[in-house]
Amino acid sequence: MRGVRASDPKKRRKIDMTSQNTPTIGWIGAGRMGAQLVQRLLAAGYDVAVYNRTAAKVQPLIDAGASYAERPAELAGRDIVFSMVSADKDLESVLVGEGGLLTAETAPRIIADVSTVSVGTSERMRAAAAERGTAFLATPVSGNPSVIAAGKLTVAVSGPRETFDEVRPLIEHFGRGVTYVGEGEVARLVKIAHNVFLGVVTQSLAEITVLAQKGGVSREAFLSFLNDSVMGSVFTGYKTPAFVNLDFTATFTMPLLQKDFDLGLDAAHTLGVPMPIASATRQIVAQEVGAGNTTEDFATLLRTVARGAGVDLVSEQADVTDGLQD
């Protein structure tokens, strides 16, 4: 791996981030979204060091000016470390597992976790960070690589308010909206609720689109009408090309959606909130995962509905936009 190695934790500089000094950044997890967010930080002039489980994926970031860490622990000398991993066990591994960020001799001033994980895991990682004198923010995001590229990513943040105020200028480079939602782990609930709604809306959109098609209306015409109505949204516009032209290149897969439904329904059980529509949609998603639909986009819910309705889906090959650049 080419590039400069991450700074030695023993030589960490103490930086007052409220001054004109620029904090040093560590980043754990350079997947499709993580890599784009790192690119935005690099473009803003930050010194960023990156760890990723698959080292080869870091090379484009090294070429863009990032430095490379072979283990999360090598990022411990950074002022702020972001983590963006797939699941609870992954977050535990990179923070407190062998070679984890919080196992080094020193520790970062702040950890900001961008992952979508359970409240329980977030609480444990917050406690582990506190033992090292590290502030912990939950900073889950709403969006995907296309949304990041359009500058429309949004972020929900929870944790100590003073830490949020300190880090907010940096997080604002991610996209267009940063919302402080409260103390502790409440940002996790906000993100999980968001993704449950995402799944339910997509299932409903698939059902009404197939209904219109079976009644003789093209998907393009129906969605054009919907998007211009009060029921249209940034999301319905964004999914229109997939629904019309059947391009199911993954932005968010069924297994990830099922994970978030499970987290949401678990929270609903704990808090005593009945969620019958979410429960029914979760079953549809689980059946798709069980049938092997694990790599395509969750917009394939359209295909599931069409199959049940006896509708043959064919790309309409229409010139439609996702609306993100409008």
Residue 323 confidence class, pLDDT cut points 50, 70, 90: confident
Candidate from 7-11, 89-93, 272-276 with smallest mean pLDDT: 7-11
What 3-state class would DSSP assign to 180?
strand
Contact 66, 49 (CB under 8 A): yes
- Tokens of residue 241, six digits: 């090309």
181, 314, 320: which is closest to 238 by C-alpha? 320
Q: Same fold for the domain at 9-184 and the one at 190-309?
A: no
- Tokens of residue 160, six digits: 């100590």
Q: Cα–Cα distance between 178 and 174 in angstroms, integer?
A: 9
| Share above pLDDT 70 across residues of the chain, in percent, rounded to a whole number | 94
CATH 3.90.1300.10 for the 9-184 domain, yes or no: no
Q: Which residues pair with 111 in a beta bridge?
A: 81, 136
Q: What is the mean pLDDT of residues 150-159?
A: 94
Q: Cα–Cα distance between 22 and 48 in angstroms, integer?
A: 11
Distances, alpha carbon 318 to alpha carbons 226, 244, 314, 315, in Å: 16, 7, 11, 8
Q: Cα–Cα distance between 104 and 102 in angstroms, integer?
A: 6
- Residue 67 has φ and ψ, to the nearest 5°, of -100, 170
100, 36, 98, 34: which is closest to 73 by C-alpha? 100
CB-based contacts of 217, cutoff 8 Å, min separation 6: none
Instruction: Assign domain 190-309 to a CATH class.
Output: mainly alpha
74, 86, 136, 130: which is closest to 111 by C-alpha? 136
* Kind of pairing between the strands at 141-142 and 154-158: antiparallel
Q: What is the mean pLDDT of residues 36-44?
A: 95
Domain boundaries, the chain: 9-184, 190-309
114, 110, 119: which is closest to 156 by C-alpha? 114
pLDDT value of position 4: 39
- Residue 47 has φ and ψ, to the nearest 5°, of -85, 110
pLDDT greater than 80 at residue 12: no
Residue 18 confidence class, pLDDT cut points 50, 70, 90: very low
Question: For 78-103, what is each residue's pLDDT tens digit?
Answer: 999 999 998 999 999 999 999 999 99
pLDDT value of position 14: 40
